[in-house]
């Protein structure tokens, strides 16, 4: 599988949180050859089902990789000397410092290419010249008269960043929305990996909607699909200048397993054991409260779902130049595949027994 080509397709397709139709269609086409059934649920998540080979009723594992990206929304249309400009607000955690000067696409009745502009520093009040721009300062300019803008754009239309995926040295890439299209790619690698291998459990691959804003897809899919085990696949912080402590991980050093309140101890250890058996290099990271991933929503559905987190190291998160190593995506996909192959009818009982023994030993 050409992971660069896969990521290029995924990252260059727009899909801000709440507006995932275009990226969902692309992922559906990618996953269709690997699964038995694929559909969109009520909140917009894409669900693909790959049946296991054991007798029914089969256990089910859910792989959640959110497909939405950060973006912008049209807040107001403003006229100036006959030309139309757009006021904007963020969708998800957009760093305002990254927005000025970006190329964007306004998804109105017709796609319009624009730029995010602002007054030059020398034209701003002196007390604001050396400070980051706020959204009150920024405008999208599509170069059209106000009449044309009013005809083609509506308040609430979404705006995506226009940024291609670039190849860097040593099989690394940089671009937008690698958070979290990298994890969608890892799930795709997993589904491909499972094609010629025996697995007993059903696999529910879910490209979740609206993770960047409210974890809506995770809550809804876990509640509806009722998996026996779930894994959230996301990105984590990569090492680099100014970010080189124990909370970050080397690009190319393998995926990270997260451990904390949103993670079931037994599933964590089972994934860790799988990585050891594969002789696959992994990292361990921790979270103290909410993990900031779909695991927070998956874990609490119905009676509770044993959940784990697999994360891909990423530099410059929530910018237009997010960067990662292609081999970490491939490794994450293989780890998921091998873990699924090892699931059998006794896995849940082993989990429960292990938790009981751990409690007694403490």
Residue whose structure tokens are 């599988």: 1
Say how far apart CA 292 and CA 314 lie, in whole Å.
15
Residue whose structure tokens are 């050891």: 276
Residue whose structure tokens are 């959230």: 232
Crossing angle (nearest 10°) for helices 21-31 and 3-11: 160
Residues 6 or more apart whose CB falls under 8 angstroms from that of 33 comprise: none
Q: What is the DSSP letter of 215?
A: -
Joined together, the tokens standing for residue 180 give 């979290």
Closest C-alpha to 337, from 287, 244, 271: 271
- Computed from CA positions of residues 36, 335, 310, 305, in that sequence, does the dihedral angle turn out positive or negative? positive
Please say whether the beta carbons of 8 and 174 come within 8 A: no
Q: What is the DSSP letter of 16?
A: B
- DSSP code per residue over 249-303: B-TTS--EEEESTTS-HHHHHHHHHHHHHHT---EEEE-SS--SSTHHHHTTSTT
Closest C-alpha to 257, from 241, 281, 239, 228: 281
Residues recorded for the chain: 362
Please say whether the beta carbons of 75 and 61 come within 8 A: no
Which residues are marked as active site?
211
């Amino acid at each position: 599988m050409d992971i660069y080509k896969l990521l290029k397709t995924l990252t260059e397709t727009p899909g801000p949180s709440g507006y995932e139709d275009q990226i969902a269609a692309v992922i559906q086409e990618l996953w269709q050859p690997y699964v038995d059934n694929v559909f969109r649920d009520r909140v917009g998540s894409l669900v693909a089902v790959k049946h296991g080979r054991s007798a029914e009723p089969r256990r089910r594992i859910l792989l959640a990789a959110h497909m939405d990206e950060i973006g912008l929304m049209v807040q107001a249309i403003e006229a100036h000397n006959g030309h139309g400009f757009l006021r904007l607000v963020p969708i998800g955690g957009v760093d305002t410092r990254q927005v000025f000067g970006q190329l964007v696409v306004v998804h109105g009745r017709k796609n319009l290419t624009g730029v995010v502009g602002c007054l030059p520093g020398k034209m701003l009040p002196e007390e604001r010249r050396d400070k980051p721009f706020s959204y009150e300062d920024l405008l999208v300019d599509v170069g059209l008269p106000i009449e044309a803008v009013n005809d083609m754009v509506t308040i609430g239309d979404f705006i995506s960043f226009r940024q291609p995926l670039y190849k860097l040295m040593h099989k690394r890439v940089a671009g937008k929305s690698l958070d979290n299209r990298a994890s969608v790619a890892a799930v795709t690698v997993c589904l491909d990996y499972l094609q010629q291998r025996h697995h007993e459990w059903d696999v529910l691959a879910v490209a979740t909607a609206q993770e960047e804003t409210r974890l809506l897809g995770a809550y809804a899919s876990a509640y509806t699909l009722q998996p026996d085990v779930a894994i959230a696949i996301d990105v984590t912080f990569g090492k680099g200048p100014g970010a080189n402590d124990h909370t970050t991980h080397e690009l190319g050093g393998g995926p990270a397993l997260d451990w904390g309140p949103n993670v079931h101890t037994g599933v964590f250890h089972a994934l860790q054991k799988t990585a050891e058996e594969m002789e696959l290099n992994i990292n361990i990271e921790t979270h103290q409260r909410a993990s900031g991933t779909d695991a927070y929503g998956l874990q609490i559905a119905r009676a509770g779902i044993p959940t784990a987190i697999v994360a891909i190291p990423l530099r410059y998160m929530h910018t237009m130049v997010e960067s990662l190593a292609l081999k970490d995506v491939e490794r994450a996909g293989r780890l998921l595949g091998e873990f699924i192959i090892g699931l059998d009818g006794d896995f849940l009982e082993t989990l429960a027994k292990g938790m009981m023994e751990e409690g007694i030993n403490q």
